[in-house]
Amino acid sequence: MGRFIVRRLLAMIPLLFGITLVVFTILRLIPGDPVVIMIGAENTSPDEVARLRGVLGLDQGIHVQYVKFLGRLARGDLGVSLGSAEPVSRLIWERLPATVELTLAAMAVSLAIAIPVGVISAIRKYSATDTAGTVVALLGISMPSFWLGVMLIFLFALRLGWLPASGRSEAVSAGLATLLTTGSPAMLITAVSHLILPAVTLGAGLAAVVTRLTRSSMLEVIGHDFVRTARAKGLPGRRIILHHSLRNALIPIVTVIGLEFGALLGGAVITETIFAWPGIGRLAIRSIVQRDFPVVQGVVLMIAVVRICANLAVDVVYALIDPRIRYA
Amino acid sequence: MDPGLSTDLYSQQVYSHVLEPLLQLDPDGVPRPALAESWTVSADGRIWTFKLRPNVKFHDGSDFTGEDVKFTIDRILNPDTRSPQRGLLSQIASVEVADRNTVRITTRAAFVPIMTNLATAAYILPRGYHTRVGRDFARRPVGTGPFKWVEWIVDERIVLEANPDYYGGRPAMERVQFRFIPEASVRLAELEAGGADLIAGVPAQDLRRLRVSLLLDLQEVVGTNYRLMGFNTSVKPFDDVRVRQAIAHAIDKQKFVDVVWPGRGVVAEGPIPPTSWAYDERIRGLPFNLNRARQLMAESGHANGFDMNYLITDREEERREVAVIIDQLKQINVNVKVTAVEFPTLLDRLLKANYDVLRVGWTTSPEPDSLLYSPFHTSAIGGFNFTKYRNPRVDELLDRGRTVTNQNDRIRIYRDAQRLIVQDAPMVFIFHEKRTYASRKAVAGFKPHVSGWIVLKTTYGIDVRVGLTR
């Protein structure tokens, strides 16, 4: 297992290399001059633009810029934002916790709903509960997150006034720390109340996918001989469902969750914009609009690394839940 | 949040409550005393002498003096600073500190717009503190303004608190909070749910409801901008002034605004909007007149019309505009062919003059020189004179507008220039866009600034929370 992980980590290097090459080239092929956008129309004169392009190294050939970028990257330096003149790593690092918090919360919310609903749908096949679950799941897949987000804000923030409409206020971890050190839950409550709506919005699509997958996967497993044998042995129904069936049904679900984790990071871009959530998704959008090349490169690289790691984690979890799978 | 380095309006809205320039634009865009109490200009219009307000302290306790002014301007002018504001101050040749409270600024040639540019581009930094903290200044700015910096949580909020020692008197409110909410509908939801007291940028579909709302106030101001259709005057058939005039006469601007920008724009007669001090109501655009348009098309030999390649950005409003334009220009047999691109792409093609006709907006400070010089002066061809417009008489007027200090004389000069430009029709000036703000009744009396900034009064009895775009 250890050797397997090391090998997979090494395989990341050429993959990331390819990603940097593609991102770097595409960014420079789309039209739009970062310098003009940066200093604004009113202040621009052609010689000023030329001078700044020189200072920022944008007047060199793409290949020269790329080699310099790789050289800095090898030293762990992602470069400096063209817009704010701050280090890219700092810009990302400040926003990453917010995005991770949102993504994990979305995943937790969606699994907490999807797996029980999927299991119940499967064991009560074609019942009213099953139909209701299927319909809701279909809605969840079909609803675009920007629409769902605005509707949730309208209902829970504006009409009912139960939850705040946008923003992050505090980190959940900071709220937890305050609770543990001072015993005051106020900060944790504020933090969680801000997290609920964006997490539901981001998690809705995943919840729907996992519900349907759990249902079909469970149905397949329930039909197997070993489940019939377990029933024949007279094992209690709960034990058959949770221990014998669900554990086997989980394998395809884990695969999908791993793959969807990356999709959640992508979806966070939209959810963060709607809910004014201070994460890397908003940073990405702004940087693309401003043609802030180093920041876009940094964010894409960051997301790529997280996605690759998530896929690796899926493979490791396989081995944990299915004793037949072993890596050498 | 470093006034010498950041480019966006949103940073400026925040730091303008913490730092102050020598002169401040009033809501109508006229420069008024701020850190400079008074000023005089030499007979040749090149040397500006500013008397600084005495006994002013920065938030870190240090004294405000002429050295801070010199430090601030020199830093922006230093090419190594890479300041985006450098272009606005590039006419400055030198800054001298005559004594503790007197500063002399010399420009290369007489250049009156420097007053506005000092107000928008030169927020005075504390020399000692800035030298000490360097780049970290952007994270913890210190100024002379009515509010002190408290905290900044990136992309989430910035909190300011009242400066008890402010020379203009202690602000009535304890704290001001700025939040960044990119979605317009969510910003409004925050305002209605009580999470914000004042927001900039109201969703178009909510304007009508807010105008009659009893709980919220809507404020609107025509910004110093113009939205236009620009012709590349170096390509056929748009090199012919009659063709350009014909298209201008064929566009029913009022209908255009009513259909696409209801309540969000006012018809433009020329480049200078009615909210600017330099506006002259006698300026009239080429009126909607189909007979005249058809006659001009016939005179130019295009009675049967032609295909017009029209470049726009992919904004939703511009797509709707196009439907109106196609319909209106069909009346003179002009067949509009549309290409929609992302804004940076449009800007790229605009600067390379790689287009036939395009739709763009021009937004500046309220200074008429900024509204007119780059788009219409011959020397700016290759830069922002993207229509490649040439008129020696206009050049002469625009040059003179930079040297005359008397405001009425300047109004007259820019009126003459506008008349010529409207007749030559390198652009059709379609409308001026309004900026919109909404607030709770508790911040009554908020008056938006013509340049689009939020400048909070210091008299509100509550802690104001402001929702900004971005």
Residue among B208, B281, B279, B96 nearest B436 (CA): B208
Distances (CA, A) of A117 to A120, A139, A218, A264, A321: 5, 15, 11, 21, 21
pLDDT tens, position by position, B419-428: 999 999 999 9
- Whole-number pLDDT of residue B7: 59
Tell me how far apart the alpha carbons of residues B76 and B84 are, in angstroms, rounded to a whole number.
8
Mean pLDDT, residues B26-35:
88
Tell me how far apart the alpha carbons of residues B376 and B426 are, in angstroms, rounded to a whole number.
9
Per-residue confidence band for B9, with pLDDT thresholds at 50, 70 and 90: low
pLDDT tens, position by position, B132-189: 998 889 889 999 999 999 999 888 899 999 999 999 899 988 999 999 998 899 999 9
Give the best residue of A166, A201, A299 to mutate against chain B (max B CB count within 10 A). A166
Tell me how far apart the alpha carbons of residues B465 and B339 are, in angstroms, rounded to a whole number.
41
- Whole-number pLDDT of residue A46: 61
Residues whose CB is less than 8 angstroms from the CB of residue B180 and which lie 6 or more positions away in sequence, other chains included: A276, B10, B155, B156, B157, B468, B469, B470
- Whole-number pLDDT of residue B456: 84
Tell me how far apart the alpha carbons of residues B132 and B62 are, in angstroms, rounded to a whole number.
13
Mean pLDDT, residues A51-77:
83
Residue A253 pLDDT > 80: yes
Mean pLDDT, residues B262-281:
92
Residue among A163, A252, A175 nearest A199 (CA): A163
- Whole-number pLDDT of residue A328: 61
Which of the pair, A65 or B300, is modelled with greater confidence? B300
CA dihedral (B355, B361, B367, B372) positive or negative: positive
Nearest CA-CA distance, residue A32 and chain B, Å = 4
Residues whose CB is less than 8 angstroms from the CB of residue A93 and which lie 6 or more positions away in sequence, other chains included: none
A-B C-beta contacts closer than 8 Å? 139
Residue A319 pLDDT > 90: no
Task: Answer yes or no: do B374 and A42 touch at CB < 8 A.
Answer: yes
Q: Name the residue in chain B with its Cα closest to that of A162.
A: B193
Mean pLDDT, residues B274-292:
92
Percent of chain B with pLDDT over 90: 67
Tell me how far apart the alpha carbons of residues B230 and B350 are, in angstroms, rounded to a whole number.
10
Nearest CA-CA distance, residue A240 and chain B, Å = 47
The H or E element containing residue B245 is helix B241-250
Tell me how far apart the alpha carbons of residues A316 and A311 are, in angstroms, rounded to a whole number.
9
Per-residue confidence band for B68, with pLDDT thresholds at 50, 70 and 90: very high
Mean pLDDT, residues B1-9:
69
Distances (CA, A) of B202 to A155, A271, B206: 20, 20, 7
- Whole-number pLDDT of residue B80: 81
Rounded to 10 degrees, the C-alpha dihedral B112/B115/B116/B119 comes to: 170
Establish if B361 touches chain A: CB-CB under 8 angstroms.
no
Residue A231 pLDDT > 90: no
Q: Which residues pair with A320 in a beta bridge?
A: none
CB–CB of B454/B221 below 8 Å? Answer: no
Percent of chain A with pLDDT over 90: 34
Residue B196 C-beta-side C-alpha neighbours within 13 Å: 28
Residue among B220, B254, B21 nearest B119 (CA): B21
Residue among A252, A201, A209 nearest A118 (CA): A209
Per-residue confidence band for A45, with pLDDT thresholds at 50, 70 and 90: low
User: Which tokens hold the place of B444?
Assistant: 């009554």
DSSP string, A240-269: IIIIIIIHHHHHHHHHHHHHHHHHHHHHHH
Give the best residue of B6, B156, B315 to mutate against chain A (max A CB count within 10 A). B156
Type of residue numbered A326? R
Chain B contact set for A53 (CB, 8 A): none
CB–CB of B362/B370 below 8 Å? Answer: no
- Whole-number pLDDT of residue B418: 96
- Whole-number pLDDT of residue A41: 53
Tell me how far apart the alpha carbons of residues B419 and B412 are, in angstroms, rounded to a whole number.
11
Distance of CA B348 to the CA centre of its chain: 21
User: Which tokens hold the place of B468?
Assistant: 């900004």
pLDDT tens, position by position, A7-42: 888 888 898 889 889 988 888 887 777 777 766 655
Nearest CA-CA distance, residue A33 and chain B, Å = 7
Instruction: Name the E strands within B383-468.
Output: 427-440, 464-468
pLDDT tens, position by position, A164-217: 999 998 899 999 999 999 989 999 999 999 999 999 999 998 999 899 999 999
Calculate Rg over the CA atoms of chain A.
24
Establish if B345 touches chain A: CB-CB under 8 angstroms.
yes
- Whole-number pLDDT of residue B74: 95
Mean pLDDT, residues B250-260:
94
Residue among B202, B182, B192, B205 nearest B441 (CA): B192
Nearest CA-CA distance, residue A268 and chain B, Å = 14
User: In terms of DSSP bridges, do strands B198-200 and B464-468 run parallel, antiparallel, or are they unpaired?
Assistant: parallel
User: Which tokens hold the place of B92?
Assistant: 């400055």
Mean pLDDT, residues B104-108:
96
Establish if B205 touches chain A: CB-CB under 8 angstroms.
no
- Whole-number pLDDT of residue B3: 77
Residue among B85, B25, B387, B424 nearest B244 (CA): B424
Chain A contact set for B342 (CB, 8 A): 30-32
Tell me how far apart the alpha carbons of residues A103 and A258 are, in angstroms, rounded to a whole number.
12
Q: Name the residue in chain A with its Cα closest to that of B154.
A: A278
Task: Answer yes or no: do B374 and A166 touch at CB < 8 A.
Answer: no
The H or E element containing residue B37 is strand B36-41
CB–CB of B262/B205 below 8 Å? Answer: no
- Whole-number pLDDT of residue A48: 67
- 0.95 exceeded by pTM: no
Task: Answer yes or no: do B155 and A283 touch at CB < 8 A.
Answer: yes
Residue A271 pLDDT > 90: yes
CB–CB of A95/A298 below 8 Å? Answer: no
DSSP string, B346-397: HHHHHHTT--SEEEEEEE--S-HHHHHHHHH-GGGTTTT-TT----HHHHHH
Q: Which residue has tokens 């109340």?
A: A193
- Whole-number pLDDT of residue B421: 97
Task: Answer yes or no: do B5 and A33 touch at CB < 8 A.
Answer: no
User: Which tokens hold the place of A189?
Assistant: 């409550």
**Rounded to 5°, angle at Cα A185 from A183 and A190:** 155
Per-residue confidence band for B395, with pLDDT thresholds at 50, 70 and 90: very high
Task: Answer yes or no: do B347 and A83 touch at CB < 8 A.
Answer: no
Q: Which residue has tokens 């809507």?
A: B218
Give the best residue of A38, A43, A88 to mutate against chain B (max B CB count within 10 A). A43
pLDDT tens, position by position, A115-162: 999 988 988 888 888 898 888 888 888 888 889 999 999 999 999 999
Chain A contact set for B383 (CB, 8 A): 44-46
Residue A261 pLDDT > 80: yes
Task: Answer yes or no: do A37 and B364 touch at CB < 8 A.
Answer: no
Percent of chain A with pLDDT over 70: 95
Task: Answer yes or no: do B189 and A43 touch at CB < 8 A.
Answer: no
Tell me how far apart the alpha carbons of residues A150 and A155 are, in angstroms, rounded to a whole number.
9
Q: Name the residue in chain B with its Cα closest to that of A35.
A: B84
User: Which tokens hold the place of B232?
Assistant: 């590349």
Greatest mean pLDDT among A255-269, A294-308, B58-72: B58-72
- Whole-number pLDDT of residue B357: 97
> Nearest by CB to A31, which of B190, B348, B363?
B348
Tell me how far apart the alpha carbons of residues B354 and B218 are, in angstroms, rounded to a whole number.
41
Distances (CA, A) of A326 to A2, A188, A253, A317: 11, 41, 19, 11
- Whole-number pLDDT of residue B124: 96
CB–CB of B224/B274 below 8 Å? Answer: no
**Rounded to 5°, angle at Cα B2 from B1 and B3:** 105
The H or E element containing residue B244 is helix B241-250
Residues whose CB is less than 8 angstroms from the CB of residue A52 and which lie 6 or more positions away in sequence, other chains included: A35, A38, A39, B82
